[in-house]
Amino acid sequence: MFQITLLAMGKLKEKFYLSAAAEYEKRLSGVCRFQLLELPECRLPESPQPAEIAMGLAKEGELIRQKIPKGAWFCVLTPEGKELSSEAFAGQLARVKLSGRSSACFLIGSSYGIEPALKAQADLLLSMGKMTFPHHLARIMVLEQLYRAESIQAGTKYHK
């Protein structure tokens, strides 16, 4: 069974986010081996300088690199990434599976973004659109789209 890992910076705290995340994690566990890893955000001053942000992102990048499964196809969620329809996203995941890879890893960065060198390592930079979303909501949206992609591939009625 295909392995999907979601790396997310920070922890969910609000009950409504926790409930939604748990529901999609449960659904995903029925269609793939799913793992969610919450990683700690680097603490920065209230109004950090650009150099402090860069150092924080570099520290986060080191931790993230340790958690990416070996040999996994790696996708970074970022505003400057490529926008895909749900069907195109499902097709992308299907191609990854057909390529012989046994796992995919998705990354949602911290509120200050993602280290540029880490983005350069990605197999795909993916955007969820031109609007800005809180990171916690983005996590739910990614979980839903992962489940939708698996449902599209399986031909179930979830995606209409």
Establish how many alpha carbons lie within 13 A of residue 125's alpha carbon, considering only the half-sphere containing its beta carbon: 14
Return the CATH fold of 3-154: Alpha/beta knot (3.40.1280)
pLDDT tens track, the chain, 160 positions:
999 999 999 999 999 999 999 999 999 999 999 999 999 999 999 999 999 999 999 999 999 999 999 999 999 999 999 999 999 999 999 999 999 999 999 999 998 999 999 999 999 999 999 998 888 999 999 999 999 999 999 999 887 7
Give the predicted TM-score (pTM) of the model.
Answer: 0.95
Strand order in the sheet with 124-127: 33-39, 3-9, 103-108, 73-83, 124-127
d(C-alpha 35, C-alpha 67), whole Å: 11
Domain boundary assignment for the chain: 3-154
Establish how many alpha carbons lie within 13 A of residue 32's alpha carbon, considering only the half-sphere containing its beta carbon: 27
Cα 104-107-111 angle, rounded to 5 deg: 175
